[in-house]
Amino acid sequence: MMKKIIYIFIGCLLLTSCSGMLDIESHSAVSPGSVTPQDLSALRMGMYNKVQNSPTRESYITFDILGGDLTQSTGNAKDLINSVLSSLNSIVSSSWNGYYNALYQVNNVLSIVESLPESELRNLIIGEAHYFRAYIYHALVTRWGGVPIQKVNTMEKPFRDSEEAVWSFIEEELQTALAFLGTSSSYYYVSRDAALALKARVMLERGNLTEAATLAEGLITDGKYKLDSFDKIFRGKSNTEVIFSFQCLAEESNITISTLFYTYAHPNHGSYVYRPTNEVMNMYDDKDKRKEVSIINVGSEPCINKYPSGQTGTDPVVMSRLAEMYLISAEAQGFPKGLGRLNDLRKERGLESVDPKDKDEFLQCVLDERRKELLAEGFRYYDLIRTNTAKTTLGLKDYQHVLPIPGKEMISNPNLEPNPGY
């Protein structure tokens, strides 16, 4: 996939501490003024690579770590949550730096391609870049709340924008992306449908339920996608369910999520940093078609099984797929109308219908189904935050409903105010 990658002036990243910088121009990159239309494909692949890899592998499962579904050697999920929710924790700092590093590259790409002559590829890259900016800021706002909005790269020390301003910016970016994007050659590239899927997620999280349901239903009913087996979705096989996924080819990717989940006794080996809780291991019905691919016992040790490569390679990381759209539609339509979509998904996964008696029972059914369907895909913590159930489910304190701003960043940039309570 990637024969040549152009990194445009990566240098000293906004908001990230740097020292000993004698030159601000990179000696191993093409300068922005030297890029020609012939370089567009390489520029595009460099952007994909940076967005995929910079936030680091644990950014993809942070919400599973914080959502109480994973634990470490203590066996207590709350110990892990409290450990991660520290301004000095490496997951917090590497994710913050990684998302802004990726943003730096995306902003560079936009500034370059917008100055080049119009072409089909140039317009596609513009659409992909705006999608990636929406994706990056969605990751930032759901973790830290209000953060600095950077439409262009700068050496200034910015202040934090409000959470509302960030959400509005995400919506604007998605609208711009939709104007440029069309179909893609495969689900390993951003398409218009990928932008629609992310917008449906954003609308649900923002409480714009009518639009969330409309967007999700559009993807469910347009005929291009169909619910498929977990074996295909999470084993890199051709399938009808994935809308957008990072391919994570071994030679270009450091997103080795699987090694964090398997023990060394697994045939593909692993470092076994995180293990599913007993509750997770017992939450799947034996008839549930998701069970075998989602969890596994290696000897006597419970493991997440969605990412099968272990230490032998890397696995695709799904960004959006049709099952999420079923769950968005169900939740957004509410009780009782959304019950049909919830049970459609359950039937496809080999389960009987549920019959909640009121809206509260219905919401709990949706959250339970999201937990089983989207395990280890980065949803659980924010699902509990946005539905105001994190305190009762996880025992979180009010200030733990957002992550701490990394301590190093606040030292580097005094304009960054900490999140209250940290």
Residue 119 has pLDDT above 60, yes or no: yes
Identify the pLDDT of residue 36. Answer: 85
Identify the pLDDT of residue 71. Answer: 97
User: How many percent of the chain have pLDDT more than 90?
Assistant: 88
Which of the four pLDDT bands, split at 50, 70 and 90, describes residue 32?
low
Identify the pLDDT of residue 306. Answer: 97
> How far is CA 221 from each of CA 171, 172, 225, 226, rounded to the nearest angstrom?
23, 25, 8, 9
Task: Answer for the pair 281, 78: CB distance below 8 angstroms, yes or no.
Answer: no
Residue 26 has pLDDT above 70, yes or no: no
Which of the four pLDDT bands, split at 50, 70 and 90, describes residue 74?
confident
Which of the four pLDDT bands, split at 50, 70 and 90, describes residue 30?
low
CA angle 257, 393, 198 (to 5 degrees): 50
CB-based contacts of 383-389 (< 8 A; 24+ apart in sequence):
383/63, 383/67, 384/67, 385/142, 386/205, 387/363
Which of the four pLDDT bands, split at 50, 70 and 90, describes residue 246?
very high
Residue 202 has pLDDT above 90, yes or no: yes
Identify the pLDDT of residue 156. Answer: 94
Residue 12 has pLDDT above 60, yes or no: no
Question: Mean pLDDT throughout 172-184?
Answer: 98
Which backbone phi and psi does 366 adopt, to 5 degrees?
-65, -45
